[in-house]
């Protein structure tokens, strides 16, 4: 199968938590760990997933790396038994670039 990704994905070397702080689905917002991240989105390992096309705001716990948390907005584009993929609709480019350099 051909890799259709447009941006490179980076696995963060240590466990970095992420929390969905808002979602438009009628479901509890999950917490989890960052699996990998790219300039266009994030994969989050979590026990509870949201429905595809759910809109979310997330807090990525990057205080250890950047000295502050990173907030992003996105859309759930895929779910599986391990977690969910979220495509960014808004993310501070500077913060994401800093994370991609770890």
Per-residue pLDDT band at 1 (split at 50, 70, 90): very low
| Residue 67: per-residue pLDDT | 92
Tens of pLDDT, residues 37-92: 988 999 999 998 999 999 999 999 999 888 999 999 999 999 999 999 999 999 99
Chain-centroid distance of CA 85 in Å reads 7
| Predicted TM-score (pTM) of this structure | 0.84
Cβ-contact 86, 75 below 8 angstroms:
yes
Q: Give the CA distances from residue 73 to residues 3, 12, 31, 59, 100, in Å, rounded to whole numbers and listed in that order.
A: 25, 19, 15, 9, 17
C-alpha 70/C-alpha 82 separation (Å) is: 23
Backbone angles phi, psi at 64, to 5 degrees: -65, -30
Q: Can you identify the CATH homologous superfamily of domain 17-100?
A: predicted glycosyltransferase like domains (2.40.10.220)
Percent with pLDDT over 70 in the chain: 86
Show the tokens assigned to 93: 């480019």
Compute the distance between CA of residue 50 and CA of residue 48 in angstroms, rounded to an integer: 7
């Amino acid at each position: 199968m051909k890799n259709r990704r447009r941006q490179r994905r980076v696995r963060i070397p240590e466990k970095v938590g992420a929390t969905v702080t808002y979602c438009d689905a009628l479901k509890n917002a999950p917490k989890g760990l960052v699996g990998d991240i790219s300039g266009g989105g994030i994969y989050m390992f979590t026990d509870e997933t949201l429905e595809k096309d759910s809109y979310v705001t997330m807090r990525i716990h990057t205080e250890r790396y950047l000295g502050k948390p990173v907030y992003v907005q996105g859309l759930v584009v895929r779910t599986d038994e391990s977690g969910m993929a979220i495509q960014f609709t808004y993310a501070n480019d500077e913060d994401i670039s800093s994370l991609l350099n770890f």
